[in-house]
Structure 1
């Protein structure tokens, strides 16, 4: 166990079979942290990247809730379940109106699906989801046998690449916008193919700029001593590396830490050297540092418009 006053990000490779909250609780206990959260739920059946935020990092988890995601998904054709995934009960079985033994024809049909579902699409959220109606999650209505009308939502499928095109299971990699339900994508594809389908496996490979290949399993974390745990803990600003950065002088930094607006004369991203400019109508979110761009100097984030920084989220443990 390391210091309870710990702040940072743990890239966890969540195993299938447990909830995201259970995984967060385990990581919190391993690190001995006082506060923990995550950047977006993975269903219990899903595995893969779950960034776990500890201490002050929980303030910035929202920034990755809005980030794009990448998944490796397996689809089981010909079977529909009541949940849209392998955890549900099979409610229908069917074959498409073409010869499934014809591999070339199957690939042709799947490539047509690829074109159909790429780009901006509409999705109706599944009943088995945490979305709420009158303060109650939809999955509670579903478990009670009630069907609630849901409004379709617009999502973006940035890329969709088949890795295995076969019957009865195929796999693909999907890069998508926030709010995309891969279960619903699998169901909609099955409907378009004329046979129904459900999501049989799911693994998240990326959340924004954070990648699964840098993640650690629960078993690996449990086996680490305090020094090793400290080394795998990413700094808080790892969550916002996609934002442009600004370093402030001492007097400006003091004003910023008090939550005051700060006029900025030099507006250069000090991590890239590129200009950070907005018109009167534009607004940009920046990560802010005291002096040089280094994780130990991270002060928080700010909205930058018309040459003025407006503090958005501030770190609590900063030196005056």
Structure 2
């Protein structure tokens, strides 16, 4: 006799997950979704299986607002081994070039500083970027090299946390979306004349969230089912950087059905707002202010129940 189907629950909220090593972002997402029996879930930016650390998971209505984390700056702590170049840019690839490491700590710090600001990166072949509908890593595994255009990314901060004086360093990087830390490590190594690859990568921040506040899958699973909801952050935390507007009950109902409603007098034209029901403080969604003072719905939550 087959087991009964697991009931999917309308869970809404944001879970800060500490993704484990050697698990894909989707694998970690599906495990978290199973632990919560959530009907709908999505993550906010892929981490390689090699990488660990902060992976915000959005459940239910939070998936409507996940793009704001996809576009956010990210922070990483990376372990870099100099003197070896691998096929993948990380520890999982084969070593194809070996060169002596001749720089000292001062030279390394000076080189890292040179990478701060806007730089151009060529995306690695071992990445999920698509070419003709297929991810680049599939071509790479077949030995096919696809020409990639360089693109600009921003390195806001880079700091040398440690250097063993031989060939291994730990660096901290704060960067814009779309930055490949593997490529950054390779480029630094090439500029130093010895090459480099990643042996460890941990995401520490994204969009104001911190790794210190994240939870492992094991810790979540160890909790009773009813206690797990206490780990979830509210949906509106994803858009807390926007100013707010409040609506009376009837306008709130109309707004959640996609209708424009009159905003407050201080509603700046074309400014984006997070919108709440005034009496209950229920989060309703996002709106843009039009020239005639109306709040035009952009993303809305499920319409609140009427009394």
- TM value normalised by structure 2: 0.92
CA contact (8 A) 1:2 1:31 kept: no
- Deviation for aligned residue 1:87: 1.2
CA RMSD, 1 decimal: 1.8
1:64 maps onto 2:55 in alignment: no
Q: Is residue 2:302 matched to residue 1:309?
A: no
- Other-structure match for 2:227: 228
1:125-274 alignment, distance < 5 Å = 125-166=123-164, 167-267=166-266
Unaligned runs of 5+ in 2: 1-5
Q: Equivalences for 1:113-128 in 2 at 5 Å?
A: 113-128=111-126
- Decide which of 88, 108, 123 is 1:83's aligned counterpart: 88
Could you tell me which runs of 5 or more consecutive residues in structure 1 were left unpaired when the two chains were aligned: 101-105, 268-275
**CA–CA separation in structure 1 for the residues paired with 2:271 and 2:13:** 24
1:68–1:178 CA contact under 8 A, matched in 2: yes
What is the DSSP-based 3-state SS (H/G/I as helix, E as strand, rest coil) of the residue aligned with 1:17? coil
1:33 matched to 2:33? no
Q: Specify the SS of the correspondent of 2:92.
A: coil
Q: Deviation per CA, 1:34-79: give whole Å up to 9, x if none.
A: 1111000110011101111111111111111001111111111011
| Kept in 1: contact 2:122–2:150 (CA 8 A) | yes
Inter-CA distance 54–227: structure 2 relative to 1 (3 Å threshold): same
How many pairs does the alignment contain?
299
Task: Give the one of 108, 112, 115 matched to 1:110.
Answer: 108
- Whether the 8 Å CA contact 2:287–2:295 is kept in 1: the answer is yes
Residue 188 of structure 1, CA deviation: 0.5
Match of 2:23 among 18, 21, 36: 18
TM-score (norm. length: structure 1): 0.89
Deviation at residue 185 of structure 1 after TM alignment: 0.5
- Tell me if structure 2 keeps the 8 A contact 1:246–1:293: no
Q: Using the TM superposition, give the Cα deviation of residue 192 of structure 1 relative to its aligned residue in structure 2, in angstroms.
A: 0.7
Give the SS at the match of 2:252. Answer: helix
The question of whether the paired residues in 1 share the 8 Å contact of 2:249 and 2:279 is answered with no
Note the alpha carbon deviations across 1:101-129, whole angstroms, 9 max, x for none.
xxxxx122112112210011111100011
1:291 is matched with: 278
Cα distance in 1 for partners of 2:202, 2:279 equals: 37
Deviation at 1:317, TM superposition (A): 4.9
Which residue of structure 2 lines up, in the alignment, with residue 272 of structure 1? none
